[in-house]
Structure 1
């Protein structure tokens, strides 16, 4: 081969070599080769004018060594080993070639270093084309998947990591460090989940770098920033906040004012429990934050209704006001201003002892309103309240609570827990007289808290069960209402079919309530089974449908708890009549025992503390869909409780019989000691030694 000829590589080399591949019959047509020279298959190209009838000396020569004709005998020997030399060799060509038959296109017939009529012969894929026709493929540039990726996509990838994972990923390299602390990743900075683990320096760096991008900043409980608020650029970095929470932080007054002055787009502000928040801070909010919708100043000792008035006047969009344990709620003029604006949807006044009947009356119906002589109610526009929290407002009585009737049609949550003031006359407490009047007027009520209202009876429960909101009520708390019994609770559980939580501790309910609750949840499961009865392969999904708190209820026994555990471990399967009907379900041919288990609800129970470990273990097995082990645990626990009762009853019976036997033997009154053993006690007798006036106790 010529030294200047460029040798092809790769796929082109293979395609060029295909021109030299042939079989032995195709050599008969190759006339340019001399008959005297030895032929080779490695340098003959395929030709379209193949004539199998033509013959030559070359054909006869190769036919003896590479015969392709089928043999007649089954045990014919294979082809003989070729006798000629297979190494590359030179062959002679005729000088005048009519055509380049047998040579690849673009290859010169004569190579330098050999005679004019000879050419070096090589293997199949060694022939190369000309420099114009054969070119090397351009090598692909090295592609760095991460570095060549657009920055927007990299930020999007990192956004799926948790904040803790993002901070740990910053240790990979400097490039990763810059991307992990990019502000676009921290548009929502919520440190309430990891505030104990993140150091102050890392938190300061995140806030400083991501300041302009942060919209939601929640630093709840970040006490490690106590000495960092004065650092230059920390507070100034955050200027576009919308949601802001500093609950539980240790921060000075100047830093709070700086945050409020630099963020005029605030919508939610939570500064509960901060001594640094004063009426001056609320004045800044009223002047600088016109878009405010939520304000939480609960437990702010230096705040009163004078500062809240500034917020109400400057923030027309205020809908949620949480001012628990704030002084000054006996100001009737301020409550009247809230009545005239009528923009609040949630009002939480927990532990506001100053909130009186006069203030509540001004808040609900105003002052000196016109009265409707037909109904006896004051005519006023309906209030927009959806949630009212008057927990521990001990100055409220039935007189003001009755004003809620027919004036708050959209009320969803009502909290009147612990409103009865101790050491006062029961006539000033909240009783059935007001509750039975207002509860039927709340058609959207979902949360009701009546904890520690000791004067309410089953009449209140009957009012709840017959109210329009009975079908949508979800949360009910009647703890420490000692006058409530099964007569009121059983109809309530039957009527409220969507209850999710009932707190009934320290009441007089019995096992009937637990049995009724288990039956109600079972009915929910049946309704759910009917909805998915035509579906195939419904996965098991056990979830809590009802939470019940029944500890310290003296009438609740282990048998009621066992009923709940038994219902929780019950397997919900398709109805048998549907499985046997081919036209009603796609899995009708399956057996009932092999039918799929449907999604169903269970009851989460909190009972007597010695039973609670067994209840927790049973719930764990039920949630793992291990119903066999759950049923076995329930059965063993029931056997254990029955053996304990039999043992205790037998012990009492034996002690009673022993005492009766001793009394019959000695004719005296039997006595049982601390260990339950009968002892003898002799009556005092007169002694003749002291004249019969003294006695000796044996």
Structure 2
């Protein structure tokens, strides 16, 4: 054995003795309850490391009370059935929240064991757990009647049977996400609405089989709804929005993007009844006009976030109404609103609301916008980001001028590179536009 190796080993032994003495002192000086409280602030990785320090810390770290909230998203590719089953037995009734988003290896059997052992779960995220079927929802319904939040987004195998099971056994549900579950129909949503009347948030992006009747029953039975996302529910018509406005006056967030059958009648009824509306997303609702947004701006003065992308019929008149009627507007998307001009941006940018609150403005593919629009935004002192992709009348000079007044703003735009001299190219050469962050 070399001298260096001997010295290193001796130092290691000394440090080990010192640590064990300190550990013993810690364990003697601090009561178990206080140590457990300290451990309760650690994440899963830190708890596992602490469990390897000593027998005493192993007991403390693996105490079920420290495992009331588990987030396995960062370990999703490594989480298989036996891992979850061991966690379930360890946590037992202490577990309140578990996030399993993207844990693709998990099966119904593992979730059944979880439900059996951890029947006090209130929040479970199973988003993108694609192997799960209705059997999982039935297990949660049978054992976890305290469940309040469930995320089944992109669990493509589930059907109406899952929603009917949750309606039967989980009447305390407040938040449900069934986005991209293509097999869900109006039958499942109606059952859920009738059994879970405490719903506050409902997300069903891409559920193309959802109907006016389903939304109507949901609205009439769940009047506490404050957040609804119906993105891509393409069969919905104005009657669905009428039901929401009539029965859910406290709506704060509503997404109707890609519901292309809707008309101004939807915006008008929202304006009449939903005065608390904070966020409205209506991208690609191509039948909306200035008339609908005028009504909205006059009555929904708390609006802070608006996504009007591809509302192709709106003009500068909409921006004038928003400038006058929505003093708290923070984020506005006007991408592909090709009738918007510098005058509309001037009305918006010089309004008191924009100067105080506007932080994000999207103007992608607004072909009539010029550098003059950027000049109208220099008084928007809180503007953090502006999108200008494919605004071909915007120049680098205009952007630099804006940045002189707003040095911290992020500008996303692209420009065609300079055309090379004829001698350096031939007739068939094409130059693509390059994307830049300015």
- The TM-score normalised by the length of structure 2 is 0.82
Structure 1: stretches of 5+ with no match in the other structure: 1-140, 366-380, 421-428, 525-544, 570-601, 612-643, 653-671, 678-698
1:251-400 maps to which residues of 2 (within 5 A)?
251-332=132-213, 335=216, 338-339=219-220, 342-365=223-246, 383-400=249-266
Please say if residues 189 and 218 of structure 1, whose CA atoms lie closer than 8 Å, have aligned partners that are also in contact.
yes
**SS of residue matched to 2:57:** helix
SS of the residue corresponding to residue 280 of structure 2 reads: strand
Distance in 2 between residues matched to 1:430 and 1:568, nearest whole Å:
33
Counterpart for residue 310 of structure 2: 452
- Give the direction of change, closer, same or farther, for the CA distance of 1:234–1:293 in structure 2 (3 Å limit): closer
| Residue of structure 1 equivalent to 2:350 | 494
1:669-698 deviation line (CA, Å, top 9, x unaligned): xxx778489xxxxxxxxxxxxxxxxxxxxx
- 1:236 pairs, out of 116, 122, 132, with 116
Is 2:362 the partner of 1:503? yes
Unaligned runs of 5+ in 2: 1-20, 428-438
Alignment partner of 2:390 out of 544, 548, 552: 552
Q: Give SS of 2:349's match.
A: helix
User: Is 2:25 the partner of 1:145?
Assistant: yes
Aligned-residue offset at 1:164? 1.9
Q: Are the equivalent residues in 2 in contact too, given 1:305–1:327 (CA < 8 A)?
A: no
1:461 aligns with 2:286: no
Q: Which residue of 2 aligns with 1:410?
A: 276
Q: 1 CA distance for matches of 2:65 and 2:118? A: 13
Corresponding residue for residue 562 of structure 1: 400
Q: Measure the CA separation in 2 of the matches of 1:491 and 1:465.
A: 7
Aligned position for 1:401: 267
Question: 1:56 is matched with which residue?
Answer: none
Q: 1:605 aligns with which of 411, 427, 434?
A: 411
Does the CA contact (< 8 Å) of 2:108 and 2:136 recur in 1? no
Q: CA deviation at 1:328?
A: 4.6
Provide the C-alpha distance between the structure 2 equivalents of 1:256 and 1:446, rounded to a whole number of angstroms.
36
Shift of 1:254: 1.9
**3-state DSSP class of the match of 1:466?**
helix
CA change 1:174–1:493 in 2 (3 A) is same
Shift of 1:405: 2.6
* Distance of aligned partners of 1:241 and 1:336 in 2 relative to their CA distance in 1, 3 Å threshold: closer
Measured at CA, do residues 515 and 183 of structure 1 come closer, stay the same or move farther in structure 2, by a change above 3 Å? farther
Per-residue CA deviation, residues 179-222 of structure 1 (Å, 9 max, x unaligned), is: 32221111111222442466665444333201311111111111
Correspondence for 2:89 among 208, 222, 228:
208
Counterpart for residue 18 of structure 2? none
- Which whole-Å CA distance do the structure 2 matches of 1:198 and 1:153 have between them? 31
1:147 shift after superposition: 3.2
Counting matched residue pairs gives: 401
Report if aligned partners of 2:211, 2:235 keep a CA contact under 8 Å in 1: yes
Conserved 8 A contact 1:181-1:206: no
Deviation, structure 1 residue 558: 0.8
> What's the CA shift for 1:146?
3.3
1:608 Cα deviation (Å)? 1.7
Q: Secondary structure at the match of 2:37?
A: helix
- Any conservation in 1 of the 2:125–2:152 contact (CA below 8 Å)? yes
Match of 1:480 among 332, 336, 353: 336
- Which structure features the higher share of helix residues? 2
Query: Matches of 2:264 and 2:38 in 1, distance apart?
Result: 59
Deviations 1:572-597 (A, max 9, x none): xxxxxxxxxxxxxxxxxxxxxxxxxx
Distance 1:325 1:443 in 2: 30
Match of 1:115 in 2: none
Bigger mean CA offset, 547-556 vs 154-163: 154-163
Distance 1:323 1:313 in 2: 17
C-alpha distance 402-207 of structure 1, shift in aligned 2 (>3 A): same
What TM-score do you get using the length of structure 1 for normalisation? 0.53
1:87-126 pair list within 5 angstroms: none
Quick one: distance in 2 between partners of 1:462 and 1:430?
A: 16
Equivalent residues of 1:385, 1:410 under 8 A apart: yes
Structure 1 pair 198–337 and aligned structure 2 pair: CA distance change class (3 A): closer
Shift of 1:402: 2.7
Q: Distance in 2 between matches of 1:216 and 1:200?
A: 18
1:153, distance to aligned residue in structure 2 (A): 2.1
Provide the residue aligned with 2:373 in structure 1.
Answer: 513
Distance apart, 1:171 and its partner CA: 2.7
Q: Highest CA radius of gyration, 1 or 2?
A: 1
* Alpha-carbon distance in 1 for matches of 2:400, 2:77: 42
* Aligned-pair CA distance for 1:172: 2.6
State the alpha-carbon separation in 2 of the partners of residues 333 and 241 from structure 1: 28
CA distance in 2, matches of 1:418, 1:323: 17
**Structure 1 position 314, deviation (Å):** 1.8
Give me the whole-angstrom Cα distance separating, in 2, the residues matched to 1:675 and 1:314: 70
Q: 2: distance between equivalents of 1:555 and 1:264?
A: 59
Partner of 1:162: 43
- Inter-CA distance 435–155: structure 2 relative to 1 (3 Å threshold): same
CA distances 1:369-391 after superposition (whole Å, capped 9, x unpaired): xxxxxxxxxxxx88222221111
Q: Determine the structure 2 residue equivalent to 1:189.
A: 70
Contact 1:256–1:276 (CA<8 Å) still a contact in 2?
no
> Quick one: distance in 2 between partners of 1:297 and 1:254?
16
Closer/same/farther in 2, CA of residues 208 and 465 from structure 1, 3 Å limit: same
How does 1:623-642 map onto structure 2 within 5 Å?
A: none
| Structure 1 match to 2:16 | none
In the superposition, relative to structure 1, how do residues 216 and 433 fare at CA in structure 2: closer, same or farther (>3 Å)?
Answer: same
CA distance in 1, matches of 2:404, 2:410: 13
Tell me the alpha carbon deviations over residues 459-484 of structure 1, each in whole angstroms, 9 at most, x when there is no partner: 111111111x2x21111111111111
Matches within 5 A, 1:5-16: none
Deviation (angstroms), 1:552? 1.5
Residue matched to 1:443: 301
